[in-house]
Amino acid sequence: MKSIKTKQAILYCLFAFIFTSIKAQINMVQDPSFEDTTLTVNGLGQLSLRQWRNLDSNRINSMNFSYYSYTSTLNIGYSLPSNQWCNQTPRTGGGIELDFIWVYNPNWKRSLARTKLTSSLVAGKTYCAKMYVNVCDKYYDTFTDGIAMYFDNGQLDTIVAMDSSGVYPFVNPQVSNPQGNVLMDTVNWVLVGGTFVANGTETFLTIGNFKTDSNTTKVVNLATHNPNSPWQYGSSGLLIDDVSVYEITASNWLHDTTIVLGDSAHIGTGNGGIDAQWFDDAGHEIGLGSGLWVTPTSGVTMYVQGIDVCVGMIYDTMYVYAYPLGISELGTANDELIIYPNPTHNKFQIICKIPNSKKELFNSLGQLVFSTYSNEIDVSGYSKGVYYLKCGRYIRKLVVE
């Protein structure tokens, strides 16, 4: 396991501004797992999806996308868990339809599945878009890296046809499977996703392969390779389930706290929906969930929380300071006790609202190291670390650097 310091370095470089509240997330994709059907039977003998459709354009180089269902008996060729094209169960739920899209074919035939979001995205906001994909493995003989999520304002619906390469040349998908990351797992659902900043016009989501054939990385599936079939040879398809788009909101995360030594404290975000892990300062996992009850046995204890944000983990740290005094003495200092500069490496000044009071300096173990009636203390000879200054019933934390 990577050290916590390494993880924190990655966090601060890449995700310092992001914290997501899973409980507050709202998926902006209607029917994310392809369950909402109409009573209309389409040309493939399936009930049509209510929220998902093919692109409206008169496209000469495209194919319709399909879906498979446990509950569909209209066309056995598209039933689950096994049919003539693939063998797979839904990632979540029962009786879920699976979207099938044709991502590559020598005849430039592509499937583009399209849906309207619950509302337009907000300009300047950061969004997470992700989906789970699985290779359709029983018929098509090519693995590819071609799958992406493109958000637009409806412009795609006004285009009459794709260019001769089979793609829309102006499309630059906001979220794409990485170039060269060929999807070859025929058993497990694989996460494809990422984050992007909206420009405020995005109202529709379209899923498909927007790359040219030459830019699509391809690997032959030897188990199904059949060069004599014009439809099977060189073709590739993917199953899709659990599509989601939600805003990643920036907010406060972990905060240091002070308790009485021997007491317990509940640390964390206080949001029960967060999928998080907790670690101690040695990198050992000590709990799961958004919050954790801890009982520190020393003056200063560090805790690390890792949260699954979109397609990766981010980490933050907090300290619990356990002060060995009664609760009645842990008054709220606010403006009644001010120390500055803080942190310090030599002298610091004290402003205490209790006149002529004694000032006591304790180390992180609660041991008295200095007392004075002066409003200035020199700590240049003290070890670096956390101390506590007590003035009457007020306490302030002091950091000596």
Q: Which residue has the higher pLDDT, 2 or 386?
A: 386
Q: Of 20, 11, 268, whose CA–CA distance to 130 is shortest?
A: 20
Q: Where in the chain is the domain with CATH 2.60.120.260?
A: 22-248
| Mean pLDDT, range 348-354, rounded to an integer | 84
pLDDT in the model for residue 330: 44
> What pLDDT sits at residue 325?
54
Run of H or E including 236? strand 236-248
pLDDT at 8: 41
Per-residue pLDDT band at 142 (split at 50, 70, 90): confident
Distances (CA, A) of 341 to 319, 370, 397: 21, 18, 12
Which is more confident, 156 or 28? 28
Among 29-43, 75-89, 251-265, the range scoring the smallest mean pLDDT is: 75-89
Residue type at 113 in one-letter notation: A
pLDDT exceeds cutoff 70 at 45: no
Which ranges in the chain are annotated with CATH 2.60.40.10? 257-323, 331-400
Q: How far is CA 325 from CA 104, 128, 261, 395, in A?
A: 69, 46, 7, 10
Q: Specify the residue for token string 């009459």.
A: 160
Is the domain spanning 22-248 CATH 2.60.120.10? The answer is: no
Average pLDDT over residues 62-76: 56
Q: Which tokens go with 112? A: 């583009």
Please give the average per-residue pLDDT across 81-100, as a whole number. Answer: 63
Q: Which of 159 and 375 is assigned the larger pLDDT?
A: 375
Q: Say whether pLDDT at 180 is over 90.
A: yes
Burial class (CB in 10 A: 0-12, 13-18, 19+), 30: middle
Q: Confidence class of residue 7 from pLDDT cuts 50, 70 and 90? A: very low
Task: Give the range among 53-67, 166-180, 183-197, 269-283 with minimum mean pLDDT.
Answer: 53-67
Asked, as a colleague might, if the bond just before 343 is cis with ω within 30 of 0, I would say yes
Kindly report the average pLDDT of the chain as a whole number.
75
For range 144-166, the mean pLDDT: 79
Class of CATH domain 257-323:
mainly beta
Q: How buried is residue 178: exposed, middle or buried, by Cβ count under 10 Å (0-12/13-18/19+)?
A: exposed
Is the pTM above the cut of 0.75?
Answer: no
β pairing state of 66-68 and 62-63 = unpaired
349: amino acid identity, one letter = Q
- How does strand 62-63 pair with strand 110-111? parallel
CATH number of 331-400: 2.60.40.10
For residue 196, pLDDT beyond 80: yes
Percent of the chain with pLDDT over 90: 14
